[in-house]
Amino acid sequence: MTDATFTFRVEEELKAAFSEAAKAHDQTGAQLLRAFMRDYVRRQQDAADYDMWFRQQVQAGLASANAGDLIPDDNIDAEFAALREETRRKLSGRSS
């Protein structure tokens, strides 16, 4: 991989403070900026990957619903009523 030069303007005071902070951690400003850039690119890719996964999940759910693969309302109510009752039993069995 070939290296490229990245040039940008920054206030002298910020540059000096950044260089001093980098030096305090035995790094150069360039090392820190490269690490930041790698991390930023990785986070953007992770966000894009998650967005793609989420959209696929939504589409799968819509396709399932459109195919009629649904759970009847009464079944959902009964299932969550049972879960609530189980939680109440667990809470009432605790010592105060």
Give pLDDT tens digits for 5-24.
989 999 999 999 999 999 99
CB 31 within 8 A of CB 22: yes
Q: What is the pLDDT of residue 1?
A: 77
Give a yes or no: residue 2 inside a domain: no
- What distance in Å separates the CA atoms of residue 56 and residue 71, rounded to the nearest whole number? 21
Give a yes or no: residue 77 inside a domain: no
Give a yes or no: residue 32 inside a domain: yes
What's the domain range around 65? 12-70
Give a yes or no: residue 89 inside a domain: no
Give a yes or no: residue 41 inside a domain: yes
Exposure of 71 in the CB half-sphere (CA atoms within 13 A): 8
Give a yes or no: residue 86 inside a domain: no
Distance of CA 57 to the CA centre of its chain: 16
Number of domains in the chain: 1
The one-digit pLDDT tens for each residue of the chain (96 residues) are 789 998 999 999 999 999 999 999 999 999 999 999 999 999 999 999 999 999 999 999 999 999 998 888 888 999 999 999 999 999 998 755
Give a yes or no: residue 25 inside a domain: yes
Give a yes or no: residue 58 inside a domain: yes
CB 57 within 8 A of CB 49: no
pTM over 0.75: no
